[in-house]
Structure 1
């Protein structure tokens, strides 16, 4: 598989079908970002997205992310609140985040969302709209955050889909860390 989602074989491996229509990524904050869907109806087929950015840039958004989590109406357990508080202590107000601790912030946010306390790599299944699920895999190592998402009406969050997302994540992250991503 290619290091990113920009080659057809890599997208097919992840989505299980040909995903070859590039979709613009508006407002992308990543150093690289690509999103591909299927024709003729992009909204009905699978969508593959890969993003990567410096961990400190990701961490600078953590205060907003935590505010969203806390105001979502979903109750947070004490341990989740403690992990979010720990992340906020590390990130401060989000300005001038130390790259050396940015992945520690990622681990705390991941733990607040149910990952193990030392997870530098997580995968989750979420409903993005009624009848449309996504498998989302993220990692933070080497001062870099990378995310791979597979979504669509036929995505069920199966173990095979989760494994495929983690495989794609590992390859995309390695390419991003090494600066060899093939995303346009």
Structure 2
């Protein structure tokens, strides 16, 4: 049968991929009875207990931080970060800062440059005190609307963001603003 060999190959490929998963991924994938509860919406499952509460707190800080940019208020944004905040931007147009005071100082110019700034959280993935937030950033720069996708990696402790690494598409920004 012609399809039989390809079926065997596909099955072998799936098994190979399964074997390549790390032990940690495998352990996370296993479901333990009694450790899951339905979310209030009833459409998804999440872990219960202290670990689930910590994950939800981390997710809440990440979501609140992204939403705070829409206020246009530097103090509201900076209220989410700790005194030793490390702000990294590996993207070509990004510039890092160290400390809450330095971050707050730069926020006013940033928020003025990006008029009507919003970050739409597309997905927030949480593991312990870390969150990865995929987003779509929207704003106007000199009257030109921009829309840029990116991902922020956040480390959150005691309800405050200690570290942010923000990856965004600099070339898309340059193209949308007529600079490339």
Q: TM-score, normalised by structure 1?
A: 0.26
Which is higher, the Rg of structure 1 or of structure 2?
A: 2
| Higher relative contact order, chain-length normalized (CA < 8 Å, sep 6+) | 1
More strand by percentage: 2
Q: TM-score, normalised by structure 2?
A: 0.26
